[in-house]
C-alpha cells in the first residue's frame, strides 16, 4: 500500500475498487466506459462480445502484458492506427487515484514505440509500468490457466512470479533484469573469444539478481503457505481445497536454511565452472529461470497435475483465494482485485454459491464473466450485472434481470 508523503494521518479505506474504467480503441472496443458501484460485477454476453477483453484491459492496470500476455500492438482495435488506451479511476486506501496506460502505434512510415507502453498516475507520466504495482494488486483466473498444473513449468513459473509481485512490487523489474542478464551471459558465452572480465561481471550481477528473485519467491510462497495452514479448517475448503505449494528450484531450496551471500557466491562459481557445458547447450542450464512451482491437492495428498479437471479448477480457485487473503492480510486489510474469466460456468451451483460467499467475505472487487446471465442471477442482490455486446457495456436493471 502506498502512502503519499505528507499525508500520514489520512484515514485509510480498506478496499480497492475501480470506480470507472474507460477503454479507447482497445481490442473490439472503440470507446466504452463502465462505472461500477458494487464489489461483485458480472459481465454477461455471447461468445466474442468482449468480456475477456474487458478483463484484459483491467489486468493492464498492473505491470506486465496483462492476462493474455499479448503483444501491445495486438491490442489496438483492428483498422485503427492511433494505438489504444485504458484509463481508470481507482478508489483505494489513500483515496482516489487516476491511472492511465496507453500504447501508440506508428502511422505510415513512423517508428512504433515498440514494447513499452505509457503509464500515468494522476496525470504524471511514470518511468516504468512498475509504478502501477504500488496502486493495483490484481489476481486472475482464466480458462488458459486450466492447464496450469499439467502444462509446462514456464507457465507455473510465470504464475509464481506474478504471485510474488503481488507481495513485492519490485519483483517484476527483478525478473526482467534476470532475463536480460541471462540473455547477455548466453550471448557473451557463445562468442569464441569472449572477454572474460566482462562475462565475469555479468555473471556476478546475474548471481546477485538470481538470489534476489529466488528469495522473493520464497517469501511470497511462505506468506501464502502460512495463510493456507491457518485457514485450513474453513468450511469452503471442502469445495475449494487447500493446496500444498513448494518452490522447486535449486536456489530457492538452498536459501531456506543458508545465508543468501553464500548461495550467491556458490551460484557465481557454478556459472564460471559451467561455461563450457552452457556454451554447448546454448543456454544457462541451472538457475531460478528453471524453477517450478509444485502444487498438490492438500486433503487428498495428490499432485495437482494428477487430479481431475474439476479438482484442478477447484484447487486453482482455492489457491488464488488463499493468495488474495494473504495479500489482504499483508497490505492492511485491502483485498486485491479479482478477475475471474468464465469461472462461474465451470462450477456447480453449490460451488458457485460458495464462491460468491468467499468473494463477499474477502471484500475484493471481483470482475466475473459468463455467457449466461442466469449464472449470476442467484446472487443478483449482491452482484451488479452488465450486458456486453458489440463493444458496448450496458448495466442490466433489476427489471431486466428477471426477464
Ligand X SMILES: Nc1ncnc2c1ncn2[C@@H]1O[C@H](COP(=O)(O)OP(=O)(O)OP(=O)(O)O)[C@@H](O)[C@H]1O
Binding residues for ligand X, rule: CB under 6 A, are 27-28, 45, 47-53, 74-78, 371
52 binds Mg ion (CB under 5 A): yes
17 binds Mg ion (CB under 5 A): no
The listed partner (Mg ion, ligand X, none) that binds 48, CB under 5 to 8 Å by sort, is ligand X
Other C-beta atoms lying within 10 Å of the C-beta of residue 347: 19
Residue nearer to ligand X on the CB measure, 222 or 345: 345
CB of 25 to ligand X, least distance (A): 9
Residue nearer to ligand X on the CB measure, 26 or 167: 26
The listed partner (ligand X, Mg ion, none) that binds 47, CB under 5 to 8 Å by sort, is ligand X
Beta strands, E only, 169-242: none
Q: All 3 cell numbers of residue 188?
A: 557473451
The listed partner (ligand X, Mg ion, none) that binds 231, CB under 5 to 8 Å by sort, is none
How far from 77 is each of 31, 53, 73, 74, CA to CA, in Å? 10, 11, 9, 8
Residue nearer to ligand X on the CB measure, 65 or 225: 65
Q: All 3 cell numbers of residue 386?
A: 452488465
Cβ–Cβ under 8 Å, residues 137 and 327: yes
Rg (CA), the chain: 22
CB of 43 to ligand X, least distance (A): 8
Residue nearer to Mg ion on the CB measure, 52 or 101: 52
The listed partner (ligand X, Mg ion, none) that binds 28, CB under 5 to 8 Å by sort, is ligand X
Question: CB-hemisphere CA count at 13 Å for 83?
Answer: 19
Residue nearer to ligand X on the CB measure, 54 or 291: 54
CB of 371 to ligand X, least distance (A): 5
Residue nearer to ligand X on the CB measure, 303 or 377: 377
Rounded to 5 degrees, φ, ψ at 10 are -60, 135
Residues 6+ apart with CB under 8 A from 292: 153, 156, 157, 247, 248, 249
CB of 105 to ligand X, least distance (A): 11
The listed partner (Mg ion, ligand X, none) that binds 371, CB under 5 to 8 Å by sort, is ligand X
Side by side, which strands form the sheet with 366-370? 138-141, 337-340, 366-370, 40-44, 383-389, 392-395
User: ∠ at Cα 236 (386, 56), nearest 5°?
Assistant: 35
Among the residue ranges 24-32, 46-54, 85-93, 300-308, the one whose residues contact Mg ion (CB under 5 A): 46-54
- Helices and strands in the chain: count of H runs, count of E runs: 11, 15
Cβ–Cβ under 8 Å, residues 323 and 240: no
The 149-168 contact track toward Mg ion, x by CB under 5 A, reads --------------------
CB of 264 to Mg ion, least distance (A): 43
CB of 309 to Mg ion, least distance (A): 18
Residue nearer to Mg ion on the CB measure, 22 or 52: 52
Q: All 3 cell numbers of residue 303?
A: 499432485
Distance between CA atoms of residues 184 and 178, nearest Å: 10
CB of 51 to Mg ion, least distance (A): 5
The listed partner (ligand X, Mg ion, none) that binds 49, CB under 5 to 8 Å by sort, is ligand X
How far from 73 is each of 47, 58, 87, 114, CA to CA, in Å? 23, 17, 18, 8
The listed partner (ligand X, Mg ion, none) that binds 77, CB under 5 to 8 Å by sort, is ligand X
Residue nearer to ligand X on the CB measure, 74 or 273: 74
Count of residues that interact with Mg ion, criterion CB under 5 A = 1
CB of 138 to ligand X, least distance (A): 17
- Binding footprint of Mg ion on the chain (CB under 5 A): 52
Amino acid at each position: 500500500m502506498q502512502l503519499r508523503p505528507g499525508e500520514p494521518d489520512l484515514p485509510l479505506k480498506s478496499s480497492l475498487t475501480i470506480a470507472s474504467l474507460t477503454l479507447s480503441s482497445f481490442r473490439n472496443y472503440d470507446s466504452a466506459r463502465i462505472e461500477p458501484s458494487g464489489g461483485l460485477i458480472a459481465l454477461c454476453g455471447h461468445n466474442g462480445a468482449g468480456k475477456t477483453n474487458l478483463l484484459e484491459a483491467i489486468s493492464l492496470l498492473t505491470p506486465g502484458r496483462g492476462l493474455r500476455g499479448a503483444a501491445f500492438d495486438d491490442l489496438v482495435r483492428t483498422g485503427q492506427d492511433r494505438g489504444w488506451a485504458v484509463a481508470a479511476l481507482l478508489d483505494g486506501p489513500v483515496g482516489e487515484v487516476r491511472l492511465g496506460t496507453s500504447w501508440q502505434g506508428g502511422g505510415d512510415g513512423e517508428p512504433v514505440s515498440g514494447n513499452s507502453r505509457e503509464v500515468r498516475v494522476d496525470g504524471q507520466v511514470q518511468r516504468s509500468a512498475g509504478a502501477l504495482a504500488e496502486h493495483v494488486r490484481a489476481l486472475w483466473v482464466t480458462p488458459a490457466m486450466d492447464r496450469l498444473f499439467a502444462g509446462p513449468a514456464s507457465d507455473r513459473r510465470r504464475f509464481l512470479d506474478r504471485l510474488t509481485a503481488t507481495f513485492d512490487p519490485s519483483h517484476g523489474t527483478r525478473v526482467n533484469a534476470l532475463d536480460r542478464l541471462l540473455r547477455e551471459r548466453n550471448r557473451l558465452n557463445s562468442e569464441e573469444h569472449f572477454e572474460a572480465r566482462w562475462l565475469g561481471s555479468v555473471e556476478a550481477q546475474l548471481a546477485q539478481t538470481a538470489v534476489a528473485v529466488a528469495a522473493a519467491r520464497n517469501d511470497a510462497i511462505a506468506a501464502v503457505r502460512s495463510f493456507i495452514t491457518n485457514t485450513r479448517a474453513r468450511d469452503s475448503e471442502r469445495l475449494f481445497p487447500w493446496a500444498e505449494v513448494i518452490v522447486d528450484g535449486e536456489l530457492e531450496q538452498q536459501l531456506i536454511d543458508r545465508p543468501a551471500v553464500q548461495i550467491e557466491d556458490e551460484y557465481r562459481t557454478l556459472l564460471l565452472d559451467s561455461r563450457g557445458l552452457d556454451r554447448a547447450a546454448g543456454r544457462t542450464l541451472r538457475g531460478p529461470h528453471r524453477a517450478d512451482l509444485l502444487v498438490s491437492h492438500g486433503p487428498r495428498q495428490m499432485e495437482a497435475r494428477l487430479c481431475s479437471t474439476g479438482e484442478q479448477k477447484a484447487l486453482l480457485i482455492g489457491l488464488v483465494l488463499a493468495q488474495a487473503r494473504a495479500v489482504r492480510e499483508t497490505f492492511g486489510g485491502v483485498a486485491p482485485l479479482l478477475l475471474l474469466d468464465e469461472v462461474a460456468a465451470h462450477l456447480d451451483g453449490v460451488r458457485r454459491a460458495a464462491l460468491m460467499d468467499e468473494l463477499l467475505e474477502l471484500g475484493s472487487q471481483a470482475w466475473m464473466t459468463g455467457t449466461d446471465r442466469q449464472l449470476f442471477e442467484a446472487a443478483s442482490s449482491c452482484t451488479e450485472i452488465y450486458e456486453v455486446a458489440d463493444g458496448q457495456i450496458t448495466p442490466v436493471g433489476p427489471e431486466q434481470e428477471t426477464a
